Structure 1
Amino acid sequence: MERKMIRISGKRQITIPQKYFDLLGFDTEAECILRGNELVIRPVSERSGGEFAEAILADLISQGYQGDELLSKFKETQKKVRPAVKTMIDEADALAATGGSTASLDDLFGTEER
């Protein structure tokens, strides 16, 4: 683990050391996460659900899509992944904030619909 002390300006701004900026692949945005008594700053991934690409493709192929229609449907479906995940996280956070600790997985993430 590397460590570097950085200053916080009067406007609460920080500068990410160039070495870390390059190494981690920062661009124009950073994600800021409060984890216990730590602040985690990490690059925002520009991928829009790429980690789900194989599952999306397999599902679309099983539905009979192919060629240009498959590509079009894939792009359309992939654009929906990030907003859907954000909605699930927001709903889970809302349940947690209201003491929804007795919520089931279906309450948090919904049921699989076909």
Structure 2
Amino acid sequence: MIVSDQNTIVWKRARVSSKRQVTIPQKLYEQAGIKDEVEFSIQDNQIILRPIREPSENEQFADLILADLIDQGLTGQELLATFRQKQKELRRAVTNLIKDSEKAAKHFDKNANDETDELFGDLMED
């Protein structure tokens, strides 16, 4: 179905191949924001298809922070307040890490004694 406005639904028909494959009409594909993967479910004999949205790095960190705080026994408003504080701290830490990396890259001297090879040489050979 293609939604042309909030009250009108336009249905599109497609063939199912012998391999059970269906081509999604371009407008539907674009409207749904489909990228590489979709997931399926069935409800009341209707197949529901929706795009897979990979969590951003921030969301992945958020899940880890939240799980850690729950493991610490935090609940309710205390959990929410601590979670928000940890997210601010993480944002600050990442921003500082990026600044430090950019500064180090600007001042990198190929002829100077570089500890990178000493520290990570075995990993860099791959």
TM class by shorter chain equals 0.3 to 0.5
What is the TM-score with the length of structure 1 in the denominator?
Answer: 0.47
What is the TM-score with the length of structure 2 in the denominator?
Answer: 0.43
* Rg comparison, structure with higher value: 2
The higher relative CO (CA closer than 8 Å, separation ≥ 6) is in: 1
